[in-house]
Amino acid sequence: MSKLILDSSNPVDPGQVVWRSPSNIALIKYWGKHGVQLPRNPSLSLTLASSCTDTMLQYAPRETPDDGQVELDFFFHEEENESFRAKTLEFLNSLAPTMPFLRQLKLTVRTGNSFPHSAGIASSASGMSALALCLCSLEDKLFGTLRDADAFDQKASVLARLGSGSACRSIFPYAAVWGATQYVQGSSDEFAVPVGDQIHDMFHDFHDDILIVSREEKSVSSRAGHALMEGNPYAEPRYAQARARMGTLLEAMKGGDLATFGKIVEDEALTLHALMMCSNPSYTLMRPASLAIIEKVHQYRADTGNPVYFTLDAGPNVHLLYPGEIITDVRKFIDDHLVQHCEDGYVQQDWVGEGPEEM
């Protein structure tokens, strides 16, 4: 791959690119990685719509000499955030060897979420995918290298993965698979691939209402959680389990088999949190309210027969997954029985979406 370097005799005019990118909810969980952000097992996710990050990347010719580091200002919800700046700067500097033009520019990132960050709603997925899309748009503006839509999406997915593994799946509409698997042609550990056209149409009208049990930052970050899988005695059986479940879940989603879909999705959520409890040191991210919600979902499904299923990411907040045709009944159930378990009664109402959008 040739390195992209700006021609100093033809200076760049200041400009900006803006992308809105969604979070995603993993159904087959990715937990454990190796190498440079490569997954130990394949994962499958639904792309969300309203839980998203808006990111503006502003650029201008650099006024100070290139000192080998990217020059970056960073604003989160219009306020400087040194912690986020440091993480973003580390990411951009890691890209600079193959994208040296990043060091030739003064960059400013202005970003914000529509939902609480660091609380287990995959804010890194929406945030890093939005930034990756901005970087690809910038590269294409400057060099014209990513005019092909598929090439653009694939590179955005690769860059997003390098920033946050699950972010690579947010690039695509409806549903995506990340990680090499025999069940999806063209699948790769390097980037995600879309599978929205391979699943039943009912999943294009699926809802995900996120019950915010806690807005607090997680006690153990996802990065630390992945690292703890290296010493987990159940790691290898877990990876084999995930590979096998991928085939079963994809078949269920292709055929619209909600009972099989729901069983696997709930089992995956509980497996993820069981792995945390079996780490050394062990830790627990679920709260008593998380368990109370799960019990009530079980009872509601038994009483009504409505196909409502739960999952959790790496945090205490519970995602309720269900088809759009039963939205009225489910929202009433949430209001009557589940809101009481949510911090400040907050529920992030979401649904399966069409993927990122350039603003």
Residue 46 · residue 27 · CB < 8 Å: yes
Q: Is the pLDDT of residue 2 over 60?
A: no
Structure tokens at 120: 């287990």
Give me the phi and psi of 44, to 5 degrees please: -135, 135
Q: Is the pLDDT of residue 65 over 90?
A: no
Q: What is the pLDDT of residue 347?
A: 93
Q: Is the pLDDT of residue 310 over 90?
A: yes
Segment (H or E) for 107: strand 105-113
CA distance 261 to 130: 29
Domain that residue 257 falls in: 1-359
Say which range, 106-120, 196-210, 248-262, 289-303, has the weakest mean pLDDT. 106-120
* Domain count of the fold of the chain: 1
Residue 327 · residue 207 · CB < 8 Å: yes
Structure tokens at 121: 């709603």
Q: Is the pLDDT of residue 119 over 70?
A: no
Q: What is the pLDDT of residue 66?
A: 77
Segment (H or E) for 127: helix 123-143
pLDDT tier, 124 (very low <50, low <70, confident <90, very high otherwise): confident
How many helices and strands in the chain, by DSSP H and E?
Answer: 8, 14
Q: Global pTM? A: 0.94
pLDDT tier, 110 (very low <50, low <70, confident <90, very high otherwise): very high
**What are the tens digits of pLDDT across the range 211-267?**
999 988 888 888 899 999 999 999 999 999 999 999 999 999 999 999 999 999 999
What CATH number did the domain enclosing 228 receive?
3.30.230.10
Average pLDDT value for the chain: 94
Write out 157-191 in H/E/C secondary structure: HHHHHHHCHHHHHHHCCCEEEECCCCCCCCCCCCC
Q: What is the pLDDT of residue 356?
A: 98
> What are the residues facing 47 on neighbouring strands?
24
Q: What is the pLDDT of residue 68?
A: 83
What integer is the mean pLDDT of 133-139?
98
Q: What is the pLDDT of residue 342?
A: 96
Report percent pLDDT > 90 for the chain.
88
Q: What is the pLDDT of residue 281?
A: 94
